[in-house]
Amino acid sequence: MDQSLEELRVTALAQIAGVGDEASLEAVRVQYLGRAGKISAASEAMKSLPKEDKPRIGKLLNEVRGAVSGALDAAKAALLAKADQAAFAGVDGSLPGTGLPQGSLHPLTQLQERAIQIFRRMGFALADGPDIETEFHCFDALNTPADHPARNEQDTFYFGDGRLLRTHTSSVQVRTMEKVAPPVRIIAPGAAYRRDEIDATHLAQFTQMEGLYVDENVSVADLKGTLEFFFRELLGKDAQFRFRPHFFPFTEPSYEVDIKTSALGSADRWLEIAGCGMVDPAVFEAINTRRGDRAFDPEKVTGFAFGFGLDRLAMILSRVPDIRYFTDNDQRFLAQF
Ligand code: PHE
């Protein structure tokens, strides 16, 4: 038996050394190590050996099994390495790879991020509300009842159930004050919708940024200071401002903000850039009624609100001649930012 095991080892190793592909290697493995293979047969034959021979033959058998299986593994690894080498033959690993085009943030998103950063520094938190609004949040709570003429100027899409696409982000003022008590200091960027004819400066959907600050002793001076600081950070220190009296149902007094600055290409003429004002007491009372408390008592707190269009600002800042570029999804346009 010793003799035949030694022979088995020699022939097996020779056979393995001569194999040139994986399939034949597998055949050799089965031939020796398989269930009905030669080594299994030898270990079967061992059972009929005299007792005193068993330890010696057993040890030898294990050695042979180990040698054969080690040689099989080594041969397999060698075959794989060879296949790899063949696959990469002719490939120059030092050549540069194929570049994947890298995307960038949408120009409106970039401007919005910058605006948020500036307001953050003044302690404004981000607030959010739904695009599909109730008439209450978009109009009634903002002192704009159903028969108010301001509703004509802000016509929008009405769903059958009375909900509508919000015409301004001012609805987020209402949503915020329903939930938290003063002091409130938020900005709310987001989409707004109006029934506008689409042209180079109008889309039925555009982007606004709303701001609201309610606390004790908030004044028009705070409003002016906040907006002037914001627009100077965004557009340059030399920007000039004009707060022109205006009307919004939900602020009193109300203003439109005009800016003169070379950053907007308007060094010698005023550009209208935002609407703002002091929150009308009627808005606070609508909120109190809704809340069922006096958290926004107009005798105790005052506040300012403002809103401006990001599309318009982005158009002027980046010299974009047509607002429709922002929604066309044209790579040639977007890749420039
Ligand atoms: N919501 C107004 C608009 O869309 C802007 C505004 C916001 C005015 C807040 C005053 C206060 O025109």
pLDDT for the residue numbered 267: 80
Q: pLDDT tens, 136-184?
A: 999 999 999 999 999 988 899 999 998 999 999 999 999 999 999 999 9
Q: pLDDT tens, 201-211?
A: 899 999 999 99
Reply yes or no on whether the pLDDT at 7 is more than 80: yes
Calculate how far, in angstroms, residue 90's C-alpha sits from the geometric centre of ligand 1: 66
Q: pLDDT tens, 119-138?
A: 999 999 999 999 999 999 99
Q: Output DSSP code: residue 52.
A: G
Q: Hey, whose CA ends up nearest to atom 10 of ligand 1?
A: 276
Quote the percentage of the chain above a pLDDT of 70.
100
pLDDT for the residue numbered 204: 94
Choose the residue to mutate in 195, 248, 313 for probing ligand 1, maximizing ligand atoms within 8 Å of C-beta.
248
Q: Assign residue 277 a region (left: φ > 0; alpha: ψ between -120 and 50; beta: otherwise).
A: left
pLDDT for the residue numbered 189: 98
> 70 with 33: CB under 8 angstroms?
no
Task: Tell me the mean pLDDT in the region 76-86.
Answer: 89
Calculate how far, in angstroms, residue 8's C-alpha sits from the geometric centre of ligand 1: 93
Q: Which pTM was predicted?
A: 0.72
Calculate how far, in angstroms, residue 227's C-alpha sits from the geometric centre of ligand 1: 14
Distance CA(114)–CA(186), nearest Å, equals 16
Calculate how far, in angstroms, residue 274's C-alpha sits from the geometric centre of ligand 1: 8
Q: pLDDT tens, 22-66?
A: 888 888 889 998 888 888 888 888 888 888 888 888 898 889 899
Calculate how far, in angstroms, residue 101's C-alpha sits from the geometric centre of ligand 1: 40
Q: Find all residues with CB under 8 Å of 180, minimum gap 6, and list them.
A: none
Q: 183 in helix, strand or coil?
A: coil
As a whole number, the mean pLDDT across the chain is: 93
Reply yes or no on whether the pLDDT at 9 is more than 90: no
Task: Provide Rg for the chain, Cα atoms.
Answer: 39
Atom of ligand 1 nearest to the CA of 309: 4
What sign does the dihedral 274-279-280-283 (CA atoms) show? positive
Residue 36 structure tokens: 């009905």
Q: Where are the domains of the chain?
A: 2-85, 107-334
pLDDT band at 103 (very low <50, low <70, confident <90, very high): confident
pLDDT band at 100 (very low <50, low <70, confident <90, very high): confident
pLDDT for the residue numbered 266: 75
Q: Hey, whose CA ends up nearest to atom 12 of ligand 1?
A: 275
pLDDT for the residue numbered 264: 77
Choose the residue to mutate in 170, 283, 306 for probing ligand 1, maximizing ligand atoms within 8 Å of C-beta.
170
Q: pLDDT tens, 284-324?
A: 999 999 999 999 999 999 999 999 999 999 998 888 999 99
Distance CA(149)–CA(145), nearest Å, equals 9
pLDDT for the residue numbered 3: 83
Q: Taking the domain 107-334, which CATH number applies?
A: 3.30.930.10
pLDDT for the residue numbered 1: 76
pLDDT for the residue numbered 90: 86
Beta strands 125-126 and 184-193, pairing class = parallel
Pocket around ligand 1: residues whose beta carbon is below 6 Å from it?
A: 168, 170, 210, 248, 251, 275-277, 305-307
Helices 54-88/22-33 angle, 10° precision? 170
